[in-house]
């Protein structure tokens, strides 16, 4: 099929949402397309590549990433992108140059209206380096950044000034495939007013080569830059929280830190032992009342083990006894680590239930919550309410 450049240029100004999945695509010859005309467009767009000749050759051989870069350069009104691709010799470097140089020398507002991007690598053997995606944080209209398959082996090569990004939501919770060896500090600290942060940890950084265990303190140090704005925090409530045995550089777990001064925080989902700073011991270093802000409305305690019942029960009962310390609290959930699957059921979130012993243990607390108008229940992976029947 031949590409009519005039028609494409006409409709390109109306396109606001772009969804591309070229992960499994093989290069196909692009001889049916007006590559010469597109190369002229690239030249007019300004400094978009170090080697324009290589880009032109990749267009002629049908390289999907080369075509993605051209496509994006042509969509001046684009506001959201959902992208699935692996190796990116053209598109991601182009984003880096646009972010570093403003809008280059092009009269078109390339990526200047982009508000949200969703990038996912769903092959566990493939990954994106965190610094490859960091340039999206430079773009002036960005609000939502979602990504999967991202790892931080080293701090980013590209650095942002603190408090300059317009991004309000960072979602690194997709499929538990991200690994933040640096706590994604550059992402977090760059934000002026981050409102939502979701991160689920995968011990794997680079398949078969690099493994890094979850280090809560790195995330806490970065998140402290967002005390004034953070409203929802979901920190590894579904991901791997224990020692993997692969990470030789793992230091003794030294806790997370208090959230008492996060005055905008409404929702918190976090592993119990992370929040209460168990460390390598069997006892917590802090209490819930010490670390929770009075603004909190919803609390999800994840990775709960039955041997922690006495500690959890004492903390929860103290919270109810001092209700005035958490006046906005409306809902509490326990996310058990061990669940029972319904006999004969297909594996699905809705086919699990809470162990009878767990239900009975929390029954008095459940009744006390009802008397105070607080919802109490159990969940799986922090988003599926579980039956207690």
Same domain, 233 and 297: no
Contact predicate 90/64, CB 8 Å: no
Read off the pLDDT of residues 120-161 as tens digits, 9 standing for 90 and up: 887 777 888 898 999 999 999 999 999 999 998 765 555 678
Q: What are the beta bridge partners of residue 144?
A: 116, 169
Asked, for residue 63, whether it belongs to a domain, the answer is yes
Domain for residue 268, yes or no?
no
Q: What is the pLDDT of residue 125?
A: 79
**What DSSP assignment string belongs to 251-297?**
PPP------TT-TT--EEEEEHHHHTT-TTSSS-SS-HHHH--TT--
Domain containing 325: what range?
A: 285-389
228 & 316 share domain: no
Query: Do 175 and 99 share a structural domain?
Result: no
Residue with tokens 């995606």: 133
Quick one: 89 exposed, middle or buried, by C-beta within 10 A (0-12, 13-18, 19+)?
A: middle
Classify burial at 62, counting beta carbons within 10 Å of its beta carbon; exposed 0-12, middle 13-18, buried 19 or more: middle
In a domain, 172, yes or no: yes
- The pair phi, psi for residue 7, each rounded to 5°, is -65, -40
Tell whether 344 and 355 lie within a shared domain: yes
163: in domain: yes
- Do residue 193 and residue 149 come from a single domain? yes
Residue 362 burial (C-beta neighbours within 10 Å; 0-12, 13-18, 19+) = buried
Report pLDDT for 32.
57
Q: Which residues contact 143 (CB under 8 A, 6 or more apart)?
A: 115, 116, 166, 167, 168, 169
State residue 1's pLDDT score. Answer: 36
Tell me, yes or no, whether 157 and 198 share the same domain: yes
Give the separation between CA 359 and CA 75, rounded to whole angstroms: 54
Residue entry with tokens 């929860």: 316
For the stretch 287-340, pLDDT in tens is 999 999 999 999 999 999 889 999 999 999 999 999 999 999 999 999 988 877
Whether 273 maps to a domain, the answer reads no
> Does the global pTM surpass 0.85?
yes
Q: Same domain for 221 and 194?
A: yes
- Whether 280 is covered by a domain: the verdict is no
List residues bridging with 197 in a β-sheet: 170, 233
Position 103 scores a pLDDT of 59
Q: What is the mean pLDDT of each run of 10 residues along the chain (389 residues)?
A: 54 83 60 67 64 83 85 88 87 88 66 94 82 92 95 68 95 86 93 97 81 91 97 93 61 76 97 87 88 97 92 94 96 88 58 83 94 92 52
Mark whether 123 and 236 lie in a shared domain.
Answer: yes
227 and 125 in a common domain: yes
Domain count for the chain: 3
The answer on 337 and 309 residing in a single domain is yes
Handedness of CA 147, 130, 79, 93 (dihedral sign): negative
What pLDDT was estimated at residue 284? Answer: 87
Both 85 and 120 in one domain: the answer is no
Q: Is residue 140 part of a domain?
A: yes
CA neighbor of 13 nearest in space, from 101, 91, 79, 97: 79
For residues 327 and 381, state if they share a domain.
Answer: yes
The helix or strand, by DSSP H or E, that contains position 316, with its residue range, turns out to be helix 309-321
Q: 251, 275, 309: which is the final residue of a domain?
A: 251
261 part of a folded domain: no
- Give the span between the Cα atoms of 21 and 28, in whole angstroms: 15
CB 189 within 8 A of CB 229: no
Q: What pLDDT was estimated at residue 210?
A: 80
């Amino acid at each position: 099929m031949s590409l009519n450049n005039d028609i494409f240029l006409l409709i390109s100004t109306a396109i606001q949402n772009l969804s591309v999945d070229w992960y499994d695509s093989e290069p196909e010859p692009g001889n049916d397309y007006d590559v010469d005309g597109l190369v002229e467009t690239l030249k007019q767009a300004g400094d978009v590549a170090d080697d324009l000749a290589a880009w032109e050759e990749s267009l002629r051989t049908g390289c999907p990433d080369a075509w993605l870069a051209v496509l994006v350069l042509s969509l001046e009104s684009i506001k959201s992108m959902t992208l699935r691709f692996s190796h990116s010799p053209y598109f991601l470097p182009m984003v880096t140059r646009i972010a570093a140089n403003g809008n280059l020398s092009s009269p078109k507002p390339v990526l200047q209206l982009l508000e949200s991007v969703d990038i996912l690598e769903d092959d566990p053997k493939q990954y994106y380096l965190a610094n490859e995606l960091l340039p999206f944080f430079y773009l002036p209209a960005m609000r939502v950044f979602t990504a999967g398959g991202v790892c931080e082996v080293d701090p980013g090569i590209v650095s942002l000034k603190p408090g300059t990004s317009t991004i309000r939501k960072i979602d690194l919770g997709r499929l538990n495939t991200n690994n933040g060896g640096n706590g994604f500090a550059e992402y977090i600290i760059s934000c002026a007013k981050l409102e939502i942060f979701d991160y689920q940890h995968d011990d794997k950084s680079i398949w078969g080569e690099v493994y890094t265990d979850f280090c809560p303190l790195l995330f806490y140090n970065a998140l402290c830059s967002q005390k004034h704005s953070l409203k929802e925090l979901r920190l590894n409530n579904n991901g791997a929280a224990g020692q993997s045995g692969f990470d030789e550089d793992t230091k003794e777990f030294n806790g997370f830190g208090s959230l008492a001064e996060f005055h905008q925080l409404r929702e918190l989902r976090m592993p119990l032992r992370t929040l209460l700073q168990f460390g390598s011991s069997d006892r917590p270093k802090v209490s819930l009342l010490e670390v929770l802000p009075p603004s909190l409305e919803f609390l999800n305690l994840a990775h709960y083990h039955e041997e922690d019942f006495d500690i959890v029960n004492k903390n929860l009962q103290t919270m109810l006894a001092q209700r005035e310390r958490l006046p906005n609290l409306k809902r509490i959930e326990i996310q058990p680590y061990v669940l029972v699957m319904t006999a004969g059921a297909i594996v699905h979130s809705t086919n699990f239930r809470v162990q009878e012993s767990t239900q009975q243990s929390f029954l008095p607390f459940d009744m006390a919550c009802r008397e105070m108008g607080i919802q109490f229940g159990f969940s799986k992976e922090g988003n599926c309410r579980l039956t207690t029947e």
